[in-house]
Chains A and B, each alone.
Chain A
């Protein structure tokens, strides 16, 4: 049961996403029929599945919602802003109900029930309004408003409540002779999902005397319930690929329109009464649109010539015909999106990547040995092997990559709601949605981004009057932008509002005791104060943000992702938050260096060049790099590694976030691919180290956190004193250990 619930939760939340997306489109681009249908279908699916898992509260609520959507779909009602708001709230309500079921809280339940009742009232009001109009037009409609979930009588409308795939297949006469066994296909189908109802039909079998026992007269009507792993039309069609030329196959996705069932039934060789019995059992036809009424409809339509039961060319007689092509094409279009995607549980992916990680480590170790052995052929073979390993690693990491577009799109709703609440007019511009990021990063990014977007609208964008007075367009603009930059992904949240107010931030910081009254701070330093805990400049605590929890939490979560956050602002022009995030949390291409016998890995993306440290080039903490000053740090000093420096030291020039610095090391070991293992909890607060890695030899290499090292190096440059840097680091280390 838990499994079914899991699937239900997942599906429902997906459908709700679809509904929201549809509603947003609706609001922006008028009412296009396809969008309305999609929204209706999503609601209908939620209702249907809620019924299956016996969540009556959701089922009943969604039923009302569905009724309203049905009116919209049929053009009996026109959607307006208020209605969309209510429908969006209804989506939220369903989400809340789901959350409540997932972790029951009695007080919440009461509140939800109240909220639900209100929403139902507002929706009913619209439904009745339509009903009233309708009664005026024709007397019979009103009574049936709530009673009929599907279409009108007389035509086959509405969709089936059957949550299963329906597979209808009639095998060709020669199936046995070709060495095929229908049982094998059933077996393969059962690997795609659970077979709910299997009806074996042999109605086309001739009288006993004429029956050829080596011919196949079998056909099946099957309901297949998708397991955890989703089923696509292509999956199912593939099962039958060996017999597709000689069997009549029709696959109907869950909740197919009843008209498709009707068309299917009309195309089958068995009698309608018999089919109705079978389809009735399978649950394809709900009690409301039960077999009898559907049968009537089919008969009507058949009589009207809309569906012609093709006995002559039907699958039964030829054994090779397929159901009308147009329907299959239509079904394909609908599921076309699914067929290109395979849903894989995250754990499977994680274990694959784990394995690949181990493989890469083992590969490095083998390559090391090969090189030591001096065997040319072996070295060559290992080189090829490690190149392939790299590709496998890249490809498997790619599996985890998702575009940030999905996350971005969610903000349309946020912007819309926030704009309504604040009474501002806001446009949301999304750019670089196709930029890919590790799924786990994207997930953890949603909340910080949400906060930044809300902040931008609430605090960033000025009120309409102010904007007019400043000569700006009334409609404010919030931009979400994503792009790649040297091995990391940059996400920008920008607004064209008033910008950060340096004076106010300063005053506030003084008031909060964050800085001294007469501290001299650069503009950037002042901006960065907003990331300090407990800092909030909103003069009036609004509903949206400004509760004083915020920017510091945002910063913390970005840092936890090994990312950085910066703020840029220009008065009157707007504010821009720049988030830099690693592509993936799992692995890096590294540059292996050693200092006093210890191994360190510098992320290769940040390495600019390597050079020898020559006497006289270094001056204090600054190096003369072709006439340019370059701040540098010696790892030996920084980590207080014992032993004398070798005669020749090397400098690795690294770059991050537009700044460069040199890292002085003993030896350069070359490129190195590795899996990042996090440092223990105890070392979480250590600066300068991003993680650890186990090398092929079994030794541990520490991974250098380049941005924080650069920061240290630049600080050291200001201090002109290596000792104070060390001191600073020491203090931080103490702070980290005393504050786990």
Chain B
């Protein structure tokens, strides 16, 4: 979709669309998070996830991220993680979902948002 966007443009794009999650991403929040994520994707077709404050995440949280990626792919929306905590990074790496992390080089509250996720990588 947007292979030619420069990093700067992407970063700008993302400023307004960043979704910062400040709860745990576990089975207890799954229902709420699902609604939040899907709504965010549908609202403006671009979703920059700031997971820098997610101190805990379990497999259901990852599953939701996978759902969000798939949904974004289906709708042609752009999605990417611009910041993530150690916990999130560790689990994504353990699950072999390195693609999701491609846009996020720094851990924690990174302001340097990088290239966005496109459809190609949405299948995890």
Contact = CB atoms under 8 A, between A and B. Distances in A.
Interface of A: 176, 181-183, 186-187, 190, 195, 197-202, 205, 208, 211, 213-214, 216-218, 220
Contact of B27 (A199, A214, A217, A218): A214
21 contacts: A176-B27, A176-B30, A176-B60, A181-B60, A187-B94, A198-B94, A198-B95, A199-B96, A200-B95, A208-B38, A208-B71, A211-B34, A213-B31, A213-B60, A213-B63, A214-B27, A214-B31, A216-B60, A218-B62, A218-B63, A220-B95
Given A202-B124, A213-B64, A182 B59 contact: yes
Interface in B58-112: 58-60, 62-64, 66-67, 70-71, 91, 94-97
B97 A202 contact: no
A202 B96 contact: no
B96 A218 contact: no
B96 to A, nearest CB: 4
A196 to B, nearest CB: 10
Contacts of A208: 38, 67, 70-71
B113 interface: no
Nearest to B29: A213
Contact of B59 (A181, A190, A198): A181
A205 B96 contact: no
B26 to A, nearest CB: 9
B33 interface: yes
A176 B28 CA distance: 10
A198 B59 CA distance: 14
Contacts of A197: 96
A187 B62 CA distance: 15
Contact of B96 (A198, A213, A217): A198
B23 to A, nearest CB: 14
A186 B95 contact: yes
B63 A205 contact: yes
For the complex of A and B, the 8 pairs showing the least CB-CB separation, nearest first, are A198-B96, A213-B30, A200-B95, A213-B34, A182-B59, A202-B66, A183-B59, A208-B71
A495 B54 CA distance: 77
Interface string B35-71: 0001000000000000000000011101110110011
Nearest to A187: B94
A109 B116 CA distance: 54
Contacts of B64: 213
A149 B20 CA distance: 54
Nearest to B95: A200
A121 B49 CA distance: 63
Point out which of A176, A199, A205 has the most chain B C-beta atoms below 10 A from its C-beta. Answer: A176
Point out which of B27, B30, B63, B95 has the most chain A C-beta atoms below 10 A from its C-beta. Answer: B63
A202 B38 contact: no
Given A181-B60, A218-B59, 10 more contacts: A195-B94, A197-B96, A198-B94, A200-B96, A202-B63, A205-B67, A208-B38, A213-B30, A213-B34, A220-B95
A176 to B, nearest CB: 5
A217 B94 contact: no
Interface of B: 27, 30-31, 33-34, 38, 58-60, 62-64, 66-67, 70-71, 91, 94-97, 124
A526 to B, nearest CB: 73
A201 B59 CA distance: 12
Contacts of B71: 208
Given A186-B95, A200-B124, A214-B30, A176 B67 contact: no
A199 B91 CA distance: 13
Point out which of B33, B38, B60 has the most chain A C-beta atoms below 10 A from its C-beta. Answer: B60
Contacts of A186: 94-95
Contacts of B96: 197-200
A216 B124 contact: no
A604 B27 CA distance: 65
A209 to B, nearest CB: 9
B70 A205 contact: yes
A217 B60 CA distance: 9
A200 B97 contact: yes
Contacts of B62: 183, 200, 218
B88 to A, nearest CB: 12
Contacts of A182: 59
Point out which of B91, B96, B97 has the most chain A C-beta atoms below 10 A from its C-beta. Answer: B96
Contacts of A198: 94-96
A176 B59 contact: yes
Nearest to A202: B66
A176 B27 CA distance: 7
A184 to B, nearest CB: 8
Contacts of B31: 213-214
A202 B59 contact: no
Contacts of A213: 30-31, 33-34, 60, 63-64, 67
A179 to B, nearest CB: 9
Given A199-B96, A202-B124, A216 B67 contact: no
A200 B76 CA distance: 22
A211 B63 CA distance: 10
A183 B70 CA distance: 21
A460 B95 CA distance: 66
A183 B66 contact: no
Contacts of A201: 124
A76 to B, nearest CB: 42
Nearest to B35: A213
Contacts of B33: 213
Contacts of B27: 176, 214
A200 B66 contact: yes
Contacts of A195: 94
A181 B34 contact: no
A83 to B, nearest CB: 46
B67 A211 contact: yes
A183 B27 CA distance: 13
Contacts of B59: 176, 181-183, 216, 218
Contacts of B70: 202, 205, 208
A181 B87 CA distance: 15
Given A181-B59, A211-B34, A213-B34, A202 B94 contact: no
A187 B31 CA distance: 25
A183 B94 contact: yes
Nearest to B68: A208
Nearest to A222: B96
A186 B27 CA distance: 18
A512 to B, nearest CB: 72
Contacts of B91: 183
Contacts of A200: 62, 66, 95-97, 124
Contacts of A216: 59-60, 63
B36 to A, nearest CB: 11
Nearest to A200: B95
Nearest to B93: A198
B14 to A, nearest CB: 22
Given A186-B94, A213-B31, A213-B33, A181 B67 contact: no
B74 to A, nearest CB: 8
